[in-house]
Structure 1
Amino acid sequence: MFTLKNKNLQAGIVLALVWLGVFIASYAQNQLAGMSVQFMEHYGFTSEQYASIYSASQFIGIFFAFAAGILSDKIGTRNIVLIAAGMVLVATVARIFAFSFEAQYLSNMFCGFTGMFLAVNRAKILGGWFPPATIALAVGIATTTTPVANTLGVGLTSLMPSIEFAFTVTAVVSAVFFVGWFLFGKERSDEIAAAEDASKGEEGGKVLKNLIEIVKTPWIWVLCAGAFFLMAGQVPLMAFTNASLVNARGLDPVAAGGFATAITIGMGVGSVVTPFIVKALKAYRPIVAVYAIVTALGIYFGWQMPLGVVMYAAYFVTGWCLGSLLAMIFTWPVLIYGRGKAATAGGLVQTFVLAGASLALTNITIPLAGGGSNFGMLFAIAAAYLVIGGILMLIVPDQAKAPTAEGKAAKES
């Protein structure tokens, strides 16, 4: 591992590596969406088998995200991410040569490991390199991985000459990340390491003690519930916007995809720009209130908007607000609990994120929306999720104004 003399340069490299590690998992998954028909025909899979393979990386996160956070706090973020990167490299290579359902399922499942471990540790790692004043911006930049991976995974994969070629591209990216993290991956700067080690004392490193302290606070459960409802609202928007525009508005798939892309672009821009707005206002709550309302309205009315610039703008603003809300809730664990407990808290939050992304859709939203055919009901339910998530976020102490005691300690470290 190299430690550069230029701290800011290494902080930028670490941010880029965190971005790339999460990108791999999302990109590998969205490659399947970009060539779904070819994928099923090439391997002879049914739609049900394809759906299982597509969701494999998310499914494992529901069960292991919390444990990943505890494990990261125990053995160190650098080590656990390096192990995950090695597993993903093996998985992405194995995926090229996997021809059975079981082999494809397992290889795609392990492709999500860097995404899971870095999603859990994202705020903790960046909190070790960026001061509290800029950590929200750093996390915002890191969360642009999802919209970029969605766009590239779906858009570029369809242009590639073969499935094996597409899988090889992912394997190469995985190799770059593994080497990059091995050489430059470091969870905190020397200055922050010295300050934390000095203040840790004999009480440091007690994972069980940290876990008990976290679960005893009300804010972790508010964050978890908020994350659940935000993701429960996001997934129907991302999954059914194309279908609603094609089936209900009569657009061709290419045109519908163009409008859906406005959401992902807005998410990326919003998650980067909003931290500057928070810094100017010195408050989260007004932004959360406005963004939650705008997002809910955008989800419900977006697919009904006049075609053209109006619809594109509506979806862009919806994505802007939604991406910003997600970036906030991913940042708050480190602001509330400090870096020492951030991975454990983040792991618990990430578990609810994945549960909201999968369980709510299949068990609540789809059945109530007539199997997904009643778009009005489907988007109404998704909008309701967003409102609930926004209300829960408003309950949490405003981290830009009056952080909790743990948050103050984090800012002082």
Structure 2
Amino acid sequence: MSDVDKLALSPYRWVVLVVAMLAAFIGSYAQFQLPPLAYKLIPAMHISSSQFAALMGGPMTGSIFICLLGGILADRYGVKNVVTVGLVLEVIGCTFRFATMSFWPFFFLTVLCGIASALLTSNLAKLFGAWFPMEQLGTIIGIYMISPSLAMFTGTATTALFPSMASAFITSGVICLVILVAWVALAKNKPDGAPDMPVMPATKYLGVAVKSSGVWLASFAILLAWAAIMTFNDFLPNALHAVRGISPVEAGIIGSLVTLGGAFGSWLGPVICNRVGTMKPFLIVCSLLAAAGLMWAWQMPVGAPIIIGLMLTGFFMNATGGPILSLPMLLPEIGPVYAGSAGGIIATMMVLGAVLVPTFIITPLAGTNMIMMFGLAALSFALSVIPVLFLKELGRKALEAKARQGGEGISD
């Protein structure tokens, strides 16, 4: 075991994981406070349904502009400092939504609610790679990704219990402030005694990351996957109601099963990938099964078949995220020095896929035809296999073989 691996076994690594999960929780929680309040917000702010949809996408819209910058700055100044700034902005965004009832100020504050989550997503491989052994990195990122899923559920399930919108928003601000204090007090960039990373101009970090073919292959794979995921999640409840004739309440409950299955996929997917030992075959199989689920699961008979089908679809869709987001630390040309910038590129492409592809490609082509809509989403997920085919094999078995060979290169 290398010195880095020994340092990564510090028990404090679990504290770092917990505070990172807390930092990831609040952004999604604040975002998913909005759906239960739609019936109040839309008339109060005099906005259209499309404008409300823009509010829901506000945190992700902000991520487009912050992910890459966050990765570069984290390489230069450390993950803790960068995420701290993001959490300060999130406290402002979460809390002061209560003070405005017009679209653009509310939209701006909603964008701030997702800043810290975007900065963390850019730097997951860099942060966790400093604390955990490389072969566990995908699993740890998968565990981390459970937090946003739980936040979505909690925000949706509890917000209607508050006596007013103001009390709901102020509460999210208070929670965010507590998380900020916990992050500042407990988060660390690396174990005590670990070597400091070299300090270089920001352009140097980005320049190395941009030249990595592995970074771009991972970026296009996750872009295509998230285009499919967001299309399916956004339109599934409506499709179940409009096409399958399921009541709106039941359609919402059934549609939420995809998120529940996704939480298990985020957690268990990387565990299975590590147990199998080969990353590329795992990603390919999960992507193809996810594509099949996108196409057919929602059309299954109501009852046990559709419940199982949608949960499995969510599982396979989310099982690929942890391994792909762990790649910056695993790519030999990137590693811990450039992982922030590389992660920023991958996270930016992920958000672009989630926002732009459904908006400007899939929905214009499909219109109101839900069979075509989900067929195009399935095609997008299936196409994500193509860049995966050209990635280097960086699973557990390949890493162990590299260690046995004394650090020699990993073959394709």
Whether these two folds match at TM > 0.5 is: yes
1:28 pairs, out of 5, 30, 34, with 30
Please tell me whether the aligned partners of residues 278 and 398 of structure 2 are also in contact (alpha carbons under 8 angstroms).
Answer: no
Instruction: Give the match's secondary structure for 2:398.
Output: coil
Please state if 1:259 is matched with 2:254: yes
User: How many residues of Structure 1 are paired with residues of Structure 2 in the alignment?
Assistant: 396
* Residue 209 of structure 1 pairs with residue 218 of structure 2: no
8 A Cα contact 1:292 1:387, kept in partner: yes
C-alpha change, 1:409 and 1:344, in structure 2 (3 Å) is farther
Identity %: 28
- Displacement, 1:63? 2.1
Residue equivalent to 1:285: 280
8 A Cα contact 1:148 1:264, kept in partner: no
Instruction: Report whether the alignment pairs 1:125 with 2:118.
Output: no
Letter in 2 for 1:352: M
Instruction: For residue 208 of structure 1, report the CA deviation from its aligned partner.
Output: 2.4
Contact 1:56 1:105 in 2 (8 A): yes
Q: Quick one: which amino acid aligns to residue 402 of structure 1?
A: A
Question: How far off is 1:206 after superposition?
Answer: 4.4
**Structure 1 partner of 2:173:** 171
Cα 1:54/1:279, change in 2 over 3 Å: closer
Cα displacement (A) at 1:21: 1.4
Q: Is the 8 A contact 2:84 2:183 kept in 1?
A: yes
Deviation at 1:150, TM superposition (A): 2.3
Distance 1:93 1:146 in 2: 19
Q: How does 1:288-367 map to 2 (within 5 A)?
A: 288-336=283-331, 337-367=334-364
Aligned equivalents of 1:269 and 1:76: distance in 2? 31
Segments of 5+ residues of structure 1 without an aligned counterpart are: 1-5
1:402 aligned partner: 398
Aligned equivalents of 2:384, 2:161: Cα separation in 1:
38
Q: 1:180 and 2:182 equivalent?
A: yes
Instruction: Report the Cα distance in structure 1 between the residues aligned to 2:314 and 2:38, rounded to whole angstroms.
Output: 25
Q: Quick one: distance in 2 between partners of 1:95 and 1:81? A: 21
What SS does the aligned partner of 1:156 have? Answer: helix
Is contact 1:74-1:207 (8 Å) kept?
A: yes
Give me the whole-angstrom Cα distance separating, in 2, the residues matched to 1:286 and 1:102. 46
Q: TM-score, normalised by structure 1?
A: 0.90
CA drift at 1:410 = 12
Alignment of 1:48-127 (within 5 A): 48-127=50-129
Q: Equivalents in 2 of 1:332, 1:103: separation in Å?
A: 37
- The residue type paired with residue 135 of structure 2 is A
How many Å separate the matches in 2 of 1:297 and 1:178?
41
AA of the residue aligned to 1:91: G
Q: Point out where structure 2 has 5 or more consecutive residues left out of the alignment.
A: 1-7
Aligned mates of 1:287, 1:310 — CA distance in 2 = 25
Give the direction of change, closer, same or farther, for the CA distance of 1:73–1:259 in structure 2 (3 Å limit). same
Cα displacement (A) at 1:7: 7.2
CA RMSD of aligned residues (A): 2.3
TM-score w.r.t. length of structure 2: 0.90
Correspondence for 1:3: none
- 1:282 partner amino acid: G
Q: Which residue type is aligned with residue 185 of structure 2?
A: L
Secondary structure (helix, strand or coil) at the match of 2:326 reads: helix
